[in-house]
Chain A
Amino acid sequence: MWPGGPVLICAILVLAGCDGPQSVLAPGGEDAFVLANLFWFLLAGAVVLWCAMNGLMFYVTRINPRELSERGAQALILWGGIAFPTVVLAGLLFYALSIMPEQRAEGDGGLRVEVTGEQWWWRVAYWPEGADEPIISANEVRLPAGSRSEITLEADKVIHSFWVPSLGGKSDMIPGRTNRMSLAPTVPGLYRGQCAEYCGESHAKMAFTAEVLTPEDFAAWLDAEAGPAVPPDTALAREGRAAFFAEGCGACHAIRGTPAHGRVGPDLTHLASRATLAAGTLPMTGEALARWITAPESVKPGALMPGYDHLPPERIAAMAAYLEGLE
């Protein structure tokens, strides 16, 4: 056996990059911390056991291929193959079972976020404590640090899975069922989440930003998010708004404070305050908006939104300018 090469490569890789916006190994929440630690512990144990097993194999086949003690070999099966794993596995199982209820604990009661999986984007509704109706958003989940928020998960047509690796484990979104989970972020910052259950042609393009804010920032942001859209403040943007309604965009999209009440596509009220466009697929820039409006199919194959490549580029640029102003 020659494990040297891969092991070396792996060591370099691990040192170089456990970090990342979507990394299990760069935790920013309670559940993710517990699981990352569990992983490092399991990894250490696995490396030791792998080396022991294959070292022994190497020894008996290469270094010392003579007949060794049969009694010792029997003892190896009995102790190494049965007694040791039985005890160790029972210990691991005990630990894993004991952390399961914690990982799924109910929220503190402050906030419930309802996320619905669509093909291929996320419908997000915030239910602050005592709210009668939700604050609607899309493709971005913001959570307050320091408390455990309840997440309820639903799906429209097909199964999706909601996952923010840096905050905790995933949970599926299944049509006809309501699943629940909870997340307890601790480190404010920008994380990335992604759909983890294959959901059709553009499954790869179904991500979102998860931003953890301090409780104060979160409260302020939620207040702003609840408000109506800001009116356009440039001539171009005003032209863009007119085009938006003339082309019938409001039939599918909602912009609070305007006649656009569509429920088919994502809510655009505060579109420009989000970090990304098209469910984590494009940066939030005017250029990207124009590209998306012109040909969504080229960005996200199979997307429901029709392309507007028959419109003159100026008209699309105006619409992009309008949307870019929806802070």
Chain B
Amino acid sequence: MTDISRIGGARRRRDQSAEDVLTPQGIYPPTEEMLAEPVDPELRKAQEERLKAVWDEPPGWRYWSAVNNSEVGVWYSLTAFGFMLIAGVLALLMRVQLAVPDNEFLSADRFNQFFTMHGSAMMFLFAVPMFEAISILLLPAFLGARDMPFPRLSAYGYWAFLIGGIFVMGSLLFDAAPSSGWFMYPPLAIIDEGVGSDIWLLGLSFIEVASIAAAVELIVGTIKCRPPGMRINLMPLYAWYVLVVGAMILFAFPPLIAGDFLFELQRSFDWPFFDPERGGDPVLWQHLFWIFGHPEVYIIFLPSIAVAAMIVPAAARRPMLGYHWIVLSAVGTGFLSFGLWVHHMFTTGLPAMSLGFFSAASEAVVIPTGVQLFAFVATLMAGKVRMILPMLWIAGALAIFTAGGLTGVMIALAPFDWQVHDTYFIVAHLHYTLFGGMIFPIIGGIYFFYPFITKKKMSDRLGRVSFWLTFVGFNICFLPMHLTGLLGMPRRVYTYPGDIGWDWPNMISTVGSFVIAAGILVFAWDLVRPKPKQGYTERNPWGAGSLLWSHDIPDPGWGIRSVPYITSRYPLWDQPKLLERIDAGRYYIPDAEEGLRETIVTSAIDARPQHIARITGPAWCTIWAAIFTGGAFILPVFKFYLLAGLSGAAAVGAVIYWLWTSTALVPEKPMKDAGLGLRLPTYVSGPSAPGWWGVFITMLGDMTAFASLVFGVFFYWTSRPDFPPPGSPHAVPLFVGLAALCFLAAWGATLFARTQNRRHDVVTARLCLGSAAILAIVGVGVLFMSVWMPGLAPASHVYPAILWGLAIWTGAHMGVGVIMQLYCLAGSMFGKLTPRYDADLWNTTLFWHFLLITGLVTCAVMGLLPGLL
């Protein structure tokens, strides 16, 4: 037993005066005697009523203002599943067109729209959102948390996803869908007439932003919202995968957003980033796209394997054999998957040695990927296997994925890829990996977790029918495609001649595709069919060991009744009386005395309790924020730039309203009783606060996007002889230097404001914040002057264009920085931000650390580059 105050005190910061720092007080960890003490039944009943009142969802139409993970997660998953069905129908229509040679069922243009949207929707509207949806739904339960740390952010992400998804998919109905492939290669996508490419770029960028938001939340949830005692070595494997995948999204999506930024600047304003005649290079897009695109494959694969990692121990009735092997392979795959992207570009004519590096990494990633599969088989080997239905889907997944993995080993060998690249062999390979690595495990997972969500089971019989239809249909459809590809059939052809041996394998594939569709339909029916007569399942129907199955039946809405103290990887198997004590409210935060939604925040590695976080409840402002953000992204497609600007401003307004009214509120009391003799602060700022982590993680992603732009500068330098073009003017060094000084001063003033505020010198803090905002604005002005004065014309050549691009990027970020400073200033004026309750100022300072890097690197590239190159 340790007195908890000692631990908190060790991390005390210099600039925090003692009376302002609140640390946990009391006893931790709890003793067995404390846990064994019974709870007064009267108290228990009162607590349950209060909890229920707090966690009840709003009635009637107000239901849609809900933000709780159990609601948002369900909407999110069903929406993603709906988009999957639409994308699947597109695939069927394409298969009909390809069933016979020289078919005229679909026109060329429509076919091209369909394959573009099939790929885009499956990737952006199904695979990644599905991971986020399922994780939002399940993660808090796995971690014994009441909700995600930022519920309104999940809701915002969902509404953004819904609006963006409907916009992008809706374009099909107007025959205006993008038709340049899901990879949008320039110059094709740039010279493409109509709004298709813009819909893709802006609509999906919008969704990517939502994806990153969800990733941030999932990472923070995993790191900060575990139950007391659940150290990093006891975390459910699912949480490990979420952590790894969240981090991957953070580093994989931003390069694509940077690419979209450049691409849309070219589409809208003719800045020649990808135009070789004016110094641009279409290959830069391919790099940025695939730096996103390959990790993306693992971003899809790992969460599904995470689901499998929860089913396998339940089926084997023993702990996963080699927990550490799984962690190794998840983390290892996460890293190695960033060294594979050029294997999508093996035929672009890069030097053989460059290809070799990526070929090597592509082979190396097979090792950690294989380890996970072997760990599953080994677990089954060492356990007493029950072939429950979810396990059948996992077994099918392994059979399919292994085949996809083995063809993956083949095509990772660059010379072999020169033959089969962009043929149906690849189509077969990728569907083997994605069906085996995503569809099958997810469906297995839905069968497995369905009783957790609805407290009822899906049909075992329909499940088996669906499995065999899907499994057999899949192989009939995709196995022959290997051959079709080897016979020379390229991808993305809307038709083919009848005399070169491609007709019968295509016909077989078409038949198979309809068998798959039948299987998926049976599953979909089983999923949505009303089950009124069916009784509730038992509480832990599969006899699994994870905390998730501790939720009560029927679902009382509050998630977990009291947050337990965890001492094992499989608490339901290893911790006797756990359920009983959870239900009794014996553990932490069993009550909601203040009528506020709360969850417990713990330290990142050892899960020591740090804080009781008040989390947000139902709201409409998140929906408005999503609608206006959508407007800011969607309206430029139709060149309504003014309206888009207004919509963007309204979105900022909605977000500020949301933050002001519901985050970092001054609590009614500084500490509260968490149960089991532990008192925890109700407000923390700095690195203990989930919000701080949210900013930190978001900014890591933002830095990645910025790094991609800087990479672009150096890419042009290596790939083009005329960068910068001879005789071109450069940014004015004096102004660039001045801008750098302004940014540095603005950062310093912000930092000083935080320190002074802590020292109760509120006046200086306010002055500093105000002057920091002015300095930042002046800096941005001077930065723009430096490229405007010498007459750098961005449409003339890629060199001035990229300088303007960097200036715009930095300017926009400084704008956000200024808004944050002014928000803190207003907070200080209106009593929302005080010397003690200063989380917003901590977050703003953190943001400014990253902003300073952006500003200084931009200035360095602009000012110093011409001299260096």
Inter-subunit contact A2/B419 (CB<8 Å): no
Residues on A with C-beta less than 8 A from B321 are 70, 73-74, 77
B501 pairs with A62, CB closer than 8 A: no
Do residues A54 and B398 form an inter-chain contact, with CB atoms below 8 A? yes
Q: Please state if A89 and B415 are interface contacts (CB–CB under 8 Å).
A: no
Decide yes or no whether A312 CB sits under 8 A from chain B.
no
Expressed in whole angstroms, the Cα–Cα distance for A172 and B345 within the complex equals 9
Once the chains are docked, how many angstroms separate the CA of A42 from the CA of B321? Answer: 31
B352 contacts A61, CB within 8 Å?
A: no
Select B185's contact among A13, A35, A92, A159, beta carbons within 8 Å: A159
Complex interface: stretch among B104-112, B549-557, B648-656, B820-828: B104-112
Return chain A residues, CB-CB under 8 Å to B422.
161, 170, 196-198
Q: B281 touching A6 by the CB < 8 A rule? A: no
Tell whether, in the assembled complex, residue A1 and residue B395 are in contact, meaning their CB atoms are under 8 Å apart.
yes
Q: Are A54 and B402 in contact (CB under 8 A)?
A: yes
Binds A, one of B246-254, B291-299, B354-362: B354-362
Indicate if the CB atoms of A6 and B476 lie closer than 8 Å.
yes
Contact flags B381-404 to A (C-beta < 8 A → 1, else 0)? 111111100010001101100110
Report A-chain residues with C-beta under 8 Å of the C-beta of B280. Answer: 176
Interface segment, one of B482-490, B532-540, B686-694: B482-490
A257 at the binding interface (Cβ < 8 Å): no
- Tally chain A residues at the interface, Cβ within 8 Å: 96
Cβ–Cβ contact B501 & A60, under 8 A: no
* A 76-116 to B, binary, CB cutoff 8 A, 1 in contact else 0: 11001110011001101101110111011000000000000
Please state if B367 and A86 are interface contacts (CB–CB under 8 Å): yes
Q: Which residue of B lies closest to A19 (CB)?
A: B501
Contact B108 A301 (CB under 8 A): yes
What does the 1/0 interface line of A233-257 toward B look like (CB < 8 Å)?
Answer: 0000000000000000000000000
Assess the A89–B495 pair: CB atoms within 8 A.
Answer: no
Could you mark each residue 1-38 of chain A with 1 if its beta carbon is under 8 Å from any beta carbon of chain B, else 0? 11101100110011001111111110000001011001
* Residues of the B chain whose Cβ atoms lie less than 8 Å from the Cβ of A67: 318, 382-384
1/0 contact string of A188-204 vs chain B (CB within 8 Å):
00001011111111111
The chain B residue with its CB closest to the CB of A86 is B367
**Partner-contacting stretch, out of A45-53, A212-220, A265-273, A287-295:** A45-53
Distance (whole angstroms) from the CB of A140 to the closest CB of chain B? 16
Whether the pair A81, B373 counts as a contact (CB closer than 8 A) is yes
Find out whether the CB atom of A42 lies under 8 angstroms from the CB atom of B322: no
Question: If A1-B399, A61-B385 touch, does A169 touch B419 (CB 8 Å cutoff)?
Answer: yes
B366-A39 in contact (CB<8A): no
A66 interfacial contact with B, CB 8 Å: yes
Q: Which of B414-455 contact A (CB under 8 A)?
A: 414-423
What string of 1s and 0s marks CB contacts (under 8 Å) between A266-306 and chain B?
Answer: 00000000000000010000000000000000000110000
Query: With an 8 A cutoff between CB atoms, is B675 at the interface?
Result: no
Q: 1/0 contact trace for B639-650 toward A, CB 8 Å? A: 000000000000
- Who on chain B is nearest to A47 by CB? B406
Instruction: Using known A-B contacts A93-B359, A96-B415, A204-B493, determine if residue A10 contacts B483 with beta carbons closer than 8 Å.
Output: yes
CA distance A70 to B487 in the complex (A): 46
Q: In chain B, what residue has the closest Cβ to A72?
A: B381
A80 and B663 alpha carbons, distance in the complex (Å): 51
Main SS of the interface on chain B?
helix
B479 at the interface (CB under 8 A from A): yes
Instruction: Let me know if B348 and A172 touch, CB within 8 A.
Output: yes
Which partner residue on chain B sits nearest A23 by CB separation?
A: B487
Q: Which residues of A contact B384 (CB under 8 A)?
A: 65-67
Contacts of B462 in A (CB 8 A): none
A57 to B308, CA, bound (A): 14
- Minimum CB–CB distance from B39 to chain A (whole Å) comes to 39
B475 to A6, Cβ gap below 8 A? yes
Q: Does A131 reach chain B (CB closer than 8 Å)? A: no
Q: B500–A192 contact, CB under 8 A?
A: yes
Contacts of A49 in B (CB 8 A): 402, 406
Q: Is the CB of A100 within 8 A of B382?
A: no
CA distance A50 to B107 in the complex (A): 40
Q: Is the CB of B714 closer than 8 A to any CB of chain A? A: no
**In the assembled complex, how far is the CB of residue B836 from the closest CB belonging to chain A, in whole angstroms?**
52
Is residue B472 within 8 Å, beta carbon to beta carbon, of the partner chain?
A: yes
Question: Among the listed A10, A24, A97, A163, which residue makes an inter-chain contact with B359, where contact means beta carbons less than 8 Å apart?
Answer: A97
B153 at the interface (CB under 8 A from A): no
Q: Give the interface size bracket for B toward A.
A: 35 or more
Chain B window 789-816, contacts with chain A (Cβ cutoff 8 Å), 1 for yes, 0 for no = 0000000000000000000000000000
> Do A174 and B480 have beta carbons less than 8 Å apart?
no
Q: Which of B364, B493, B496 contacts A89 (CB 8 A)?
A: B364
CA gap between A50 and B407 in the complex, in Å: 11
* B377 engages A76 (CB within 8 Å): yes
Q: Which of B347, B370, B395 contacts A170 (CB 8 A)?
A: B347
Q: How far is the CB of A304 from chain B (nearest CB, A)?
A: 13
- Which of chain A's residues have a CB closer than 8 A to the CB of B395? 1, 57, 61
B366 touches A174 (CB 8 A): no
In the bound complex, residues from chain B placing their C-beta under 8 Å from that of A262 are none
Given A76-B381, A85-B367, also A175-B487 (CB < 8 A): no
* A165 located at the interface, meaning its Cβ lies under 8 Å from any Cβ of chain B in the complex: yes
Q: Does B240 contact A (CB under 8 A)?
A: no
Could you tell me the distance between the alpha carbons of A65 and B388 in the complex, rounded to whole angstroms? 12
Instruction: Say yes or no: B374 contacts A81, CB within 8 Å.
Output: yes
Q: Quick check: B421 and A170 within 8 Å, CB to CB?
A: yes
Q: Is A92 a contact of B281 with CB atoms below 8 Å? A: no
Contact with B along A138-169 (1 / 0, CB 8 A): 00000000000000010001110101010011
Known contacts A172-B349, A174-B349; decide if A61 and B380 are in contact (CB<8 Å). yes
Q: Given A13-B505, A77-B378, A92-B409: A60 and B385 within 8 A (CB)?
A: yes
Say yes or no: is A179 at the interface (Cβ < 8 Å to chain B).
yes
**Would you call A171 an interface residue if the criterion is a C-beta within 8 Å of the partner chain's C-beta atoms?**
yes
Closest-CB distance, B478 to chain A (whole angstroms): 9
**Contact residues in A for B505 (Cβ distance below 8 Å):** 13
Residue of A nearest to B283 (CB): A174
Q: A315 on the interface (CB 8 Å rule)?
A: no
> Could you say which of B188, B277, B406 contacts A198, with CB atoms under 8 Å apart?
B188
What's the Cα separation between A17 and B417 when bound, in Å?
21
Counting chain B CB atoms within 10 Å of each CB, the highest count among A22, A104, A161 belongs to A22
- What is the bound-complex CA distance between A200 and B191, given in angstroms? 10
A169 to B347, CA, bound (A): 9
Per-position binary interface string of chain B over residues 297-334, scored 1 when its CB falls under 8 Å from any chain A CB and 0 otherwise:
00000000000000000000010011001000000000
Residue-wise interface mask of B (266-303) relative to A, using a CB-CB cutoff of 8 A (1 in contact, 0 not): 00000000001100111100000000000000000000
Shortest CB-to-CB span from A154 to chain B, Å, is: 11
Q: Are B355 and A100 neighbours in the complex by a CB distance under 8 Å?
A: yes
Q: In the complex, what distance in Å separates the CA atom of A77 from the CA atom of B383?
A: 15
Q: Which of A38, A103, A196 contacts B423 (CB 8 A)?
A: A196
- In this assembly, does B491 line the interface, its C-beta being within 8 Å of a C-beta of chain A? yes
- Bound-complex Cα distance A68 to B384 (A): 8
Interface presence of B341 (CB below 8 A): no
Q: Which residues of B contact A172 (CB under 8 A)?
A: 347-349
With a cutoff of 8 Å between Cβ atoms, the chain B residues found around residue A159 in the complex are 185, 187-188, 282
Q: Is the CB of A169 within 8 A of B349?
A: no
Contact of A18 among B282, B419, B475, B486 (CB under 8 A): B486
Candidates A24, A53, A89; contact of B487 at CB < 8 Å: A24
Complex CA–CA separation, A92 to B489 (angstroms): 26
14 contacts between A and B (CB under 8 A): A10-B479, A32-B419, A39-B410, A50-B403, A53-B377, A100-B415, A165-B488, A169-B415, A169-B418, A174-B282, A174-B349, A194-B488, A196-B422, A201-B112
> Measuring CB to CB, which residues of chain A are less than 8 angstroms from any residue of chain B?
1-3, 5-6, 9-10, 13-14, 17-25, 32, 34-35, 38-39, 42, 46, 49-50, 53-54, 56-57, 60-62, 65-70, 72-74, 76-77, 80-82, 85-86, 89-90, 92-93, 95-97, 99-101, 103-104, 153, 157-159, 161, 163, 165, 168-172, 174-177, 179-181, 192, 194-204, 281, 301-302
Q: Using A60-B385, A194-B488 as known contacts, list a sample of 4 further A-B pairs with CB atoms less than 8 Å apart, ordered by residue number in A.
A: A61-B387, A85-B367, A103-B418, A302-B109
Which 6 A-B residue pairings sit nearest by Cβ, starting from the closest?
A176-B276, A169-B418, A22-B488, A81-B374, A204-B493, A179-B349
